[in-house]
Structure 1
Amino acid sequence: MADPIVVVGAALLDGGRLLAARRSAPADLAGRWELPGGKVEPGERPEDALVRELREELGIDADPVERVPGQWPLRAPYVLRVWTARLRPGSPAPRPLQDHDELRWLTPAELWDVPWLDQDVPAVRDVAPRLTAAGR
């Protein structure tokens, strides 16, 4: 069996809030919310892919902080791995450039106000306590 292809997701944290991105494509995912990110290219480190994908999808400069434990199956042969991340000082504000039509910064109380993609739910659940801690 071939190795899975890694898709990286960013739990982008800022001021006790988590960034959620609403999918605009493909049609079967449109309208659901996710942690932004994308595929790791051959020979690319996952952390570098995360930085690149956030720049391409949201126009931001971000730093990966730490890997969220676990990985979640997507459509074969893909698996999702998530890192917490933070905006670099001086980064522009995130804006939806591709694959998304809306972004929202969610507080801990708003975290479940959006319909997350199923594979993102475990990572969001894992990151939730960090939001409360970061907001203190």
Structure 2
Amino acid sequence: MRDQREAIVAVLRRGERVLVIKRGPQAARPGYWAPLSGKLEPGETQEEALVREVREEVGLDVSPLRKVWECPTDDGHFRLHWWTAESGTGEVVPDPGEVAEARWVTPGEFLAMEPVFDGDREFFERVLPEL
């Protein structure tokens, strides 16, 4: 198996809700509901990648808080580093290529959405309630 690449997942919360997106036509695996995520660029820290990806995909300025989990993607190509971040009160402005739709959802609402990735389901079921 080739080396795993590194990617971040942004867990943006407002109250009990988390920002999730429906992946747009230019994203890998379009149509899946998932938290914001993206690859680390060479020389970039996880925190820098988190700030950049969120800004690019939904136009929000965020402050990374802490890494809360990590897991491989279901295809094994990436190691995902899950970070919570403070999102402030800005308006979500989706990048139409990357994001077909964005919603602030409760964990229960997310778990009822289809399709979602197994790792995301595990995070919402097992990790998020402990945060």
Tell me the TM-score normalised to structure 1 length: 0.80
Report % sequence identity.
34
Deviation string 1:14-72 (CA, Å, 9 cap, x unpaired) is 12211110012358722210110200011110111000000000000011111122322
Which residue matches 1:99?
Answer: 98
Once residues 74 and 112 of structure 1 are traced to their aligned partners in structure 2, the CA distance between those partners, rounded to angstroms, is 17
Q: Over the residues paired in the alignment, what is the CA RMSD in angstroms?
A: 2.3
Partner AA of 2:121 in structure 1: V
Indicate how the Cα distance of structure 1 residues 120 and 102 shifts in structure 2: closer, same or farther if over 3 A, else same.
same
Which residue matches 2:9?
Answer: 9
Q: Say if 2:112 is the partner of 1:113.
A: yes
Kindly state the Cα deviation for residue 107 of structure 1 after the two structures are TM-superposed. 2.1
Which residue matches 1:70?
Answer: 70
Which residue matches 1:53?
Answer: 53
Which residue matches 2:123?
Answer: 123
Once residues 85 and 94 of structure 1 are traced to their aligned partners in structure 2, the CA distance between those partners, rounded to angstroms, is 15
Partner AA of 1:44 in structure 2: E
Q: Is contact 1:41-1:49 (8 Å) kept?
A: yes
Once residues 11 and 27 of structure 2 are traced to their aligned partners in structure 1, the CA distance between those partners, rounded to angstroms, is 23
Q: Which residues of structure 2 form unaligned runs of 5+?
A: none
Once residues 28 and 13 of structure 2 are traced to their aligned partners in structure 1, the CA distance between those partners, rounded to angstroms, is 27
Deviation string 1:87-126 (CA, Å, 9 cap, x unpaired) is 13xx521121141110111124423121222232222221
Q: Mean Cα displacement is larger for which, 51-60 or 3-12?
A: 3-12
Q: Which residues of structure 1 form unaligned runs of 5+?
A: 131-136
Once residues 7 and 48 of structure 1 are traced to their aligned partners in structure 2, the CA distance between those partners, rounded to angstroms, is 11
Indicate how the Cα distance of structure 1 residues 109 and 34 shifts in structure 2: closer, same or farther if over 3 A, else same.
closer
